[in-house]
């Protein structure tokens, strides 16, 4: 293999791990290079930063599989691996999704492989997987198989199951009477009967809409006193009157307990502190007390203020800390022309996914407030390094808002692992941007 081929394959693998559409475009431009080993690795492993939030990348991977001559080899390898893979829930879930796509594309062996792996769920050391995919691939037969398998555990181990999976299956298969089918099968099978009884007793229902609670000083103080004040939106923080906000601000000035102080600052991260910001700056300049995120929330509370001393603290932290992610928001209201070079330097310090993900929050917050074409270089560096499709979506939207979306990224998002980015490509091209 020539050095050029090796470079292209490294570039392809880098894109695949991040989930960007560059991988598809590389395949398209290099039909003579065999990328099958890399695609197989991408099929086995969900490389997303937060797999639970992003979900399976099966559609993204399958698009790559369909593109190359080694398609049959890859499908056979993935199905073989699925049947023996013991754990890694998110990788297994992705492989089960791929099995569904293979089956729908005319590979009947995918159903056999999925059944074989599902049978092993009861074995020690095998992580449970495949129930949603089995029901999708084999309809009511798959649903009955799931009911029997899960029902066996309910019957023998006094376990339980709610009705979410069956109700979702029923919603997608309106021509069936799923509960009737379970009832009929349950008369002959004690495990299916146990499953049916459990899902009836544990009926899943979407939480009913509740009238939104209006936040007040009293409610926030009650939550702080109970150590239960965790999250509040900007809209909810704005429920409070100026007098109530000032009352909370007075209390935080007097508060000596650092953990309680943090709870107050969670509020002021979403609503501007009404007094002089020096207390906030003093906290942000100090060390984080044990078992608190006090400095982080002090920094977030300072996003509403501009001041030379705030900017100086930001510059000092940027230069003295290898990872200044906790201090990036100091620049939100103190950004100056040319600061994109500061952010470029910070973004170039590491390619580590954890590092890039940690600084992405601050970069996004800074450029949501500061509209400038100078955002292009630092945001593109993050885009080209991050394996979080959710942040990548935020970054692309900022590039569009500032009219600096490159043609390269515009075409890549058409094949991105993030479905919202794929839809965004359609909008961008439709609007001629």
DSSP of 24-80? HHHHHH-TTS--HHHHHHHHH----SSHHHH---HHHHHHHHHHSTTHHHHHHHHHH
Judged against a pLDDT cut of 60, whether residue 207 lies above it is answered with no
Judged against a pLDDT cut of 70, whether residue 209 lies above it is answered with no
pLDDT of residue 211: 66
Cα(381)–Cα(87) distance, integer angstroms: 34
Token digits for 284? 């942000």
Longest distance between any two alpha carbons in the chain, whole Å? 78
pLDDT of residue 368: 97
Per cent of the chain over pLDDT 90 is: 92
Dihedral sign computed on CA atoms, order 214, 218, 224, 228: negative
pLDDT of residue 1: 61
Q: pLDDT (tens digit, 9 = 90+) per residue, 342-401?
A: 999 999 999 999 999 999 999 999 999 999 999 999 999 999 999 999 999 999 999 999
| Over residues 192-218, mean pLDDT | 84
Cα(142)–Cα(131) distance, integer angstroms: 8
Cα(8)–Cα(21) distance, integer angstroms: 15
In terms of DSSP H, where are the helices of 226-348?
Answer: 234-237, 242-254, 258-268, 278-285, 294-301, 308-320, 340-347
pLDDT of residue 158: 86
Selection from 91, 89, 83, 81 nearest residue 61 by Cα: 91
Contacts 24+ apart (CB under 8 A), 164-169: 164/204, 165/131, 165/132, 165/135, 166/199, 167/204, 169/135, 169/143
Token digits for 258? 């650092």
Selection from 18, 84, 104, 16 nearest residue 392 by Cα: 18
Judged against a pLDDT cut of 90, whether residue 213 lies above it is answered with no
Distance of CA 297 to the CA centre of its chain: 23
Judged against a pLDDT cut of 90, whether residue 427 lies above it is answered with no
Per cent of the chain over pLDDT 70 is: 98
């Amino acid at each position: 293999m020539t050095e050029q081929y090796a470079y292209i394959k490294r570039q392809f693998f880098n894109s695949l791990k991040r989930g960007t559409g560059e991988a598809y475009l590389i395949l398209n431009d290099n039909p003579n290079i065999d990328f099958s080993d890399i695609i197989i690795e991408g099929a086995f492993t969900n490389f997303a930063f937060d797999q639970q939030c992003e979900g399976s990348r099966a559609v993204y991977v399958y698009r790559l599989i369909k593109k190359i001559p080694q398609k049959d080899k890859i499908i056979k390898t993935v199905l073989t691996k699925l049947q023996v893979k013991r754990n890694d829930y998110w990788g297994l879930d992705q492989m089960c999704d791929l099995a569904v796509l293979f089956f729908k594309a005319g590979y009947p062996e995918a159903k056999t492989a999925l059944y074989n792996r599902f049978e092993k769920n009861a074995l020690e050391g095998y992580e449970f997987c495949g129930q949603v995919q089995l029901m999708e691939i084999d309809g009511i037969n798959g649903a009955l198989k799931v009911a029997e398998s899960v029902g066996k555990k309910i019957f023998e181990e006094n376990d339980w199951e709610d009705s979410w999976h069956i109700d979702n299956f029923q919603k997608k298969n309106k021509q069936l009477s799923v509960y009737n089918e379970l009832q009929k099968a349950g008369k002959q099978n004690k495990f299916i009967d146990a499953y049916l009884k459990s899902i009836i007793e544990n009926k899943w229902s979407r939480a009913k809409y509740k009238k939104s609670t209006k936040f007040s000083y009293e409610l926030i103080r009650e939550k702080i006193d109970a150590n239960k004040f965790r999250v509040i939106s900007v809209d909810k923080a704005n429920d409070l009157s100026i007098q109530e906000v000032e009352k909370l601000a007075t209390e935080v000035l007097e508060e000596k307990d650092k953990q309680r102080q943090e709870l107050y600052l969670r509020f002021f991260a979403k609503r501007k502190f009404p007094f002089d910001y020096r207390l906030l700056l003093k906290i942000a300049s100090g060390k984080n007390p044990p078992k608190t995120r006090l400095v982080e929330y002090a920094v977030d509370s300072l996003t509403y203020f501009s001041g030379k001393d705030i900017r100086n603290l930001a510059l000092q932290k940027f230069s003295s800390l290898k990872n200044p992610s906790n201090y990036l928001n100091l620049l939100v209201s103190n950004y100056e022309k040319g600061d994109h070079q500061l952010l470029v330097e910070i973004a170039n310090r590491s390619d580590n996914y954890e590092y890039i993900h940690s600084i992405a929050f601050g970069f996004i917050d800074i450029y949501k407030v500061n509209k400038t074409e100078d955002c292009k270089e630092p945001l593109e560096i993050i885009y080209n390094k991050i394996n979080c499709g959710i942040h990548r979506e935020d970054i692309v939207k900022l590039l569009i808002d500032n009219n600096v979306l490159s043609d390269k990224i515009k075409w890549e998002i058409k094949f991105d692992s993030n479905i919202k980015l794929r839809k965004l490509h359609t909008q961008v091209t439709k609007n001629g941007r």
